[in-house]
Structure 1
Amino acid sequence: MCSNDWWSNNLPEGEPMSPLEDLVNRLRKSGIPLENEVAEAMQHVFIGSFTDHELDGFWHDRPVPFLITQNDAAKTISAPHMIATLLHHLELGTGQHVLLIGAKGGYLAALIDYIVGKDGMVTVLEPHPEVLYHTEERLEFHDSKGLIRVLPVGSLEDNDEVTRGVDRVLITGAVKEIPLTVAGMVEEGGFVLGPFGGPIQQNLLKRERQGDDWLDTELGNVVFGPMDLSEAERDPLDPQSLADHIEDALNIIVEMVEIDNETIERIEELVYSLRGMPADIPPLNEDATEDDLVEHPVFELLMAEMEWLQPMWPLFGQLLAIDIESPADWDDDQPPMVGGHEDLVP
């Protein structure tokens, strides 16, 4: 574990700012909403306690990995500007019960715990076993103010684990809908905050419960990795994953450039064909030859459509390799492009 001894902001007069102080100043200067209680939480919760990876990227407002899985998928703690944005929109208060879906290594849970205080409660749900173990291990050594629980997703079905209604839900990976089990836990007037959409781009939504209805507030476009890390571990030629990505890319492209209806229909037919492929197509391994690639059913399908698809493919390629600048990663004489978030999607 990393020592927090140097983490104090009580620096002697004339000493240079700590990396955190410098980061906070940059975030505020770039217009990121950063409440005092969030900045205070970041001062007391050292990110190095939740990852063994280098922190330089984090100090420059980039996501930092906390785990590389056995299948070489990277799981990250979000960039500081996105953490500040999420905590701002959560509207946290003392004594609240916050449900965090997607552990982010335990760092977000520790920040939320500091803000909701000794009477508050943080329940972390994590679908991936490796991430679950990492989070339990790191939070075991964290000096929390209130109660922090780390649970597998299936535990929601156990009534003994659901002893208190939820005031806030934060989803930290891309999803399409609120899980029904989670929706039933949210108290009247409480809300769910998360990235809703496809694998390439999502809309950050605040979904507030009002009786049997949900009131949506759109908070801007974001780019998060999938909620379920197993999706990031899929083979690049997995037909279902490729169909999801092409469909999401098409929705973005039609808003950017004019495409004739025939091409749109052909892309939609390609997506339909990919989704109709068998689910048990063997993935290509590291030893696959060029012949193995050429004979792969998904590759064969793409090649058969390439005559009309080729002019569109560069656009799809750009969208599948999105890289958005972080707003606090800049010098005073080089203002940033504000407004994006990358989550190191593998």
Structure 2
Amino acid sequence: MTLPTRDSSPDALHAAMVRRLIHTGAALTVAVAEAMAAVPRHLFLDAPPRVAYSEQDIITKRAADGPVLSWASAPGTVATTLEQLIVLPDQNVLEIGTGTGYTTALLAHLIGKGGHVTTLDIDPDITAAARDTLTATGHTAITAITGDGRHGHPDGAPYHRIVAAGTWDIPAAWWDQLTRGGRLVVPLRLRGQSYSIGFAHRGDRMVSDTIEHAGLTPMIVHEGERTASIHRDSLVSLVLDHDQPINSAVLSGVLHRGQAVAVSGVTLGRDAPVDGIWLRLAATEAGCCRITAQPSAVTSQLCTPAIPVGSPALVNEDSLAYLTLTPERYGYAHVLGAIGHGPKRHQLTDRIIAAIHAWDQDRAAAPTITLHRSTPDTTTRTRLIIKGANRLTITY
């Protein structure tokens, strides 16, 4: 994280943030850049201006037992989300997940005096604090209410745009309250990973046209997921979707069974994301899921995923394989590979290597992610992902 070092006044730090967002491409349009310049971020945060204008998420509320309940996403994440949303003057916008009210203020700037923003949060304390800050900063033409975001806010519908906190599925209320041709931007969970997806509403379908790395606060419950330990003391776990026919019990101890190591020859820069490979696997593999390994599991070489807190894995009955990295000779990059365990370890590592090579042929390629309100007619090569009442396809 790079912080400005010269003039430390709020105005100077604010201006430096906007320049950074333009330089990095997070703010691509004049409208978004002007909105980011018009709304002082530090007024919405209980943090020093130097921190408020840095490129970092800031925790704003924790539960009594420690888990994070709310945070303010980094400015770059917010700007990217606004670019995905394509807000136009005079539109009616619903924001699900109020947070500090900062994004609410940016939305209000983008729609101008002829539009309206309704912001909704399940936590009354968050709603009240955001309402106070919005009023104090002159943003009075905003409706801030407390409620369950899964139900939207029918009294203010229909909406031209809906922007939401992270979720595992798209509730029916969002379909119904968004105008046909409107846009929904949401960090959506796909096989254990989140992607910020810009959807266009096409009646019985939501069709993606932008996919970005996700960084927004998730809604409290991902009801479509379950976590299963595959080693004692939960040193290694899998995050699975309820539609996946995976019996985690037969994987207990799999990491001590026969091992296969496969190397792709494809390199990845330090700290580069593996989202593209993950999406490739999610598009084609019924057993694609998330593997997590505790530090002691990594140190002991029991399990060494590419990213220990969450990497793509494949499961087939009593066998498992996952994406891994090995340092290149001079340490400037890593070589992508796969490690497998169990009777089908070689087949699973081969499939991960194939996904790596498919991704490497065009690393910028983005699939079309389509949400269907009913089961679509698909080819045998298109895998359906079941999300509650919705069906999802990923096509390249």
**Partner residue of 1:193 out of 162, 185, 194:** 185
Query: 184-193 vs 206-215, which deviates more?
Result: 206-215
Structure 1 pair 56/209, CA: closer, same or farther in 2 (3 Å)?
Answer: same
Give me the whole-angstrom Cα distance separating, in 2, the residues matched to 1:71 and 1:139. 29
Q: Give me the CA root mean square deviation.
A: 3.6
1:40-55 aligned at under 5 Å gives the runs 40-55=34-49
Q: Is the partner of 1:214 in helix, strand or coil? A: strand
Identity of paired residues, percent? 20
Q: CA deviation at 1:168?
A: 0.5
Structure 1 pair 163/85, CA: closer, same or farther in 2 (3 Å)?
Answer: closer
Q: CA deviation at 1:206?
A: 1.6
Structure 1 pair 242/62, CA: closer, same or farther in 2 (3 Å)?
Answer: farther
- Contact kept, 8 Å, 1:97 with 1:121, in 2: the verdict is yes
Q: Confirm whether residue 269 of structure 1 aligns to residue 264 of structure 2.
A: no
Give me the whole-angstrom Cα distance separating, in 1, the residues matched to 2:76 and 2:152. 34
Amino acid at match of 1:142: T
Q: Which runs of 5+ in 1 are unaligned?
A: 1-5, 9-17, 232-238, 250-264, 275-300, 322-338, 340-346
Deviation per residue, 1:173-224 (Å, 9 max, x gap): 2x12211112100111101111111585222212211233322224233354
Q: Confirm whether residue 93 of structure 1 aligns to residue 71 of structure 2.
A: no
Q: CA deviation at 1:109?
A: 0.4
How does the TM-score come out when normalised to structure 2? 0.55
Give me the whole-angstrom Cα distance separating, in 2, the residues matched to 1:199 and 1:225. 18
Q: Confirm whether residue 215 of structure 1 aligns to residue 207 of structure 2.
A: yes
1:107-186 aligned at under 5 Å gives the runs 107-144=102-139, 146-153=141-148, 156=151, 162-173=155-166, 175-186=167-178
- Contact kept, 8 Å, 2:93 with 2:117, in 1: the verdict is yes
Q: Is the partner of 2:88 in helix, strand or coil? A: coil
Q: Which runs of 5+ in 2 are unaligned?
A: 1-8, 230-236, 260-296, 312-363, 365-396
**Partner residue of 2:29 out of 23, 35, 38:** 35
| Structure richer in strand, relative to its length | 2
**Partner residue of 1:315 out of 286, 305, 323:** 305
Cross-structure match for 1:15: none
Give me the whole-angstrom Cα distance separating, in 2, the residues matched to 1:20 and 1:98. 26
The count of aligned residue pairs is 252
- Contact kept, 8 Å, 2:18 with 2:37, in 1: the verdict is no
Amino acid at match of 1:226: P
Q: Is the partner of 2:308 in helix, strand or coil? A: helix
How does the TM-score come out when normalised to structure 1? 0.62
Amino acid at match of 2:81: L
Give me the whole-angstrom Cα distance separating, in 2, the residues matched to 1:152 and 1:85. 26
Query: 183-192 vs 140-149, which deviates more?
Result: 140-149
Q: CA deviation at 1:69?
A: 3.4
- Contact kept, 8 Å, 2:22 with 2:28, in 1: the verdict is yes
- Structure with the larger RCO, 1 or 2 (CA within 8 Å, 6+ apart): 1
Give me the whole-angstrom Cα distance separating, in 2, the residues matched to 1:52 and 1:136. 15
Amino acid at match of 2:208: D
Amino acid at match of 1:44: A
